Each structure stands twice: as structure tokens, then as C-alpha cells.
Structure 1
């Protein structure tokens, strides 16, 4: 069995049962090997969580890389919609990218400032482009990007905790709040 086989099994368990159902035993059973055999490829559960986080972030990175808008503000609008779609249509992969307690998770601000996050680097680039067009004033692009990411993730977390009366209400509030956040930086 290879590392890829184990990671494929871990993705399947994650997609079926979410983060709470992700155990080494379940992944091993899905991969048709003993839990001890997994440790030849992943030192421990933390290493498996890191690999799943990286896989979720790679999925998110592919989605963001496919955004085609040329105008930086249109690109940011598409990004906001893509994030919403990712959270709603691939919830367990979204969780792997953004919610797993992975030991090697990127840390603010240093990892983002040095470009360790390819997606955040793309977002910062678009914010800097928008700044040259008169948006966002002299606000640091990393601060704007973090505000947008935190607000989006917070609203998704609230939706997951059933804090909205419906998915339609959540989507409306999500879009409105993020638009207001962008507009607030342009004052």
C-alpha cells in the first residue's frame, strides 16, 4: 500500500463521515490494511491530518486558479462566490482545508506575508491591483485579505451551527456582509 492509497482512503472517510468520524482505524480499514501498517507512510494521526489539510488546500487552490475575471474587483467577487460554493458543495474537503486541527497549518501573519499560501498570494495580488485602481485606500493588502477570509469563514461556521433560518438567508447575509466588508475598506 502506498501513501496515495492511504490518502485516498482518508479522503473517502472524511467525505462520508466528516472530521469527527476520521480515525486511523477507519482509514486503515478503508485502505484494507492494519492501523500499524499506516504508520510506515504517516508517522501519526497528525501527519495524516496535515496531508488531508494540504489536499483540501490544493483543491481550493485549483478552484481559485480557475477564476478568470481580469478586473481585480470582479475577481474578488468570483472568489467570494467560489468560497461559498466550496463550503456548500464540498463541505468535508472545505473542513480539511480550513477547519482541521492540523499541526502544520499556516500561521498568521508570517506564513501569509512570505507567500506560503498560494491562494492568499493570489488574493493579495488582486487587492494590490484593485488598490492601484482606487480601491482599499492605503490599507495593507494582507489585512484586507485576512478580514475577508475571517468573515467568510465565520459566516460559514455560523451556517454550519444552524444560526440562520435557511440556506437562502445564509447566502444573502454572506454576500451582503462580504460586500459591506469590501466597501468599508474603500472609504
Structure 2
């Protein structure tokens, strides 16, 4: 399927599914045999800049009143890096199992994952992550096997977060009470705090 054909299919699904001006997300799936499916779902629109929390400085700012702090725990088992961690996929067993082990069932809580090669933090179950270290937000390197999410990529491109190129984000360096910036394309940026290690 060409890009033009895919774009046309997406636009047709948007026109069929949502009202003009309504916020929505588009999900494109590609099956192993080459079948493409486009799903459009209405979402709650952002009421403010979805990336504004990247400007939060835990060392001197008071937590903004515009959101809940997400409770973040560290998974009890490593997650092997694979094509299923490096790409957006419907194969989410490793994420679901991590949430189950931690007893997490809502987006009010998150679970940090680490790889089995060298215990480097990779991401969380529904979010990319960044930690406030030495005056900046530091996100895991793609070499850890993390999903290179779109918000993460945008934050890196705008130099609002830095990529961990010195292997600082090992599971043993994470501490209870530490702030975590959580990001994904649907929720934007949220603040979390390590509550369980």
C-alpha cells in the first residue's frame, strides 16, 4: 500500500467516525500477511499544552495543581528487549504481565521496566519515561530496547529531555520519591513519583 493510499484511507475513516473539530486518535495496524486496518477513536481534547510538565523542576517548583501524580513502581522481573519492545505493536503480553505483577489496573499507576541485558530502565508499561537528574530530564537510550515513542522523540528534538548516553538509568539507581516524567501520544506528559522499588 502506498503512502497516498494509506493517507486517503485514514482521512476517510476520520470523516466517517468523528465530528469536525473533535479530538481523535488514529490507530493503524499492519498484520503479518500485509493487511492494513485503520481505527479512529474520539478522545478527550487537551485543555493545555500536553508537554508543559517537561518544564517542571522538582528541585525548586511546587507540583502543578493541574494533574495527579502517578504512582510508579519498578517491575520485579526484567523484560527482554525484542522487536515487540522496540516497535508499537499489539503484542503487549510483557506489558500486561508487568502490570499484573504490580497489581496495576488503571492509568493512575505505572510500572517501570528494565532489560535483562544490564538492568537498564527502558520505559514504563504505557509510557516513555525520563528522570530528573543533574538539572535535566534524562530518558533511556534506544539501545536499551525501549519504544522510541513520538512524544519522547519530539521532546528530544526540542532539547527538552536528554538521552542517557552514559548508562545512568540502571534499576539500581532508581530511588523511592524520585520524580518521573511519563509521556505518550494520547496523554501527553504526566508527572509520576517512584513509590515502590
Using structure 2 for the length normalisation, give the TM-score: 0.24
Structure with the larger helix share: 1
Structure with the larger strand share: 2
Using structure 1 for the length normalisation, give the TM-score: 0.25
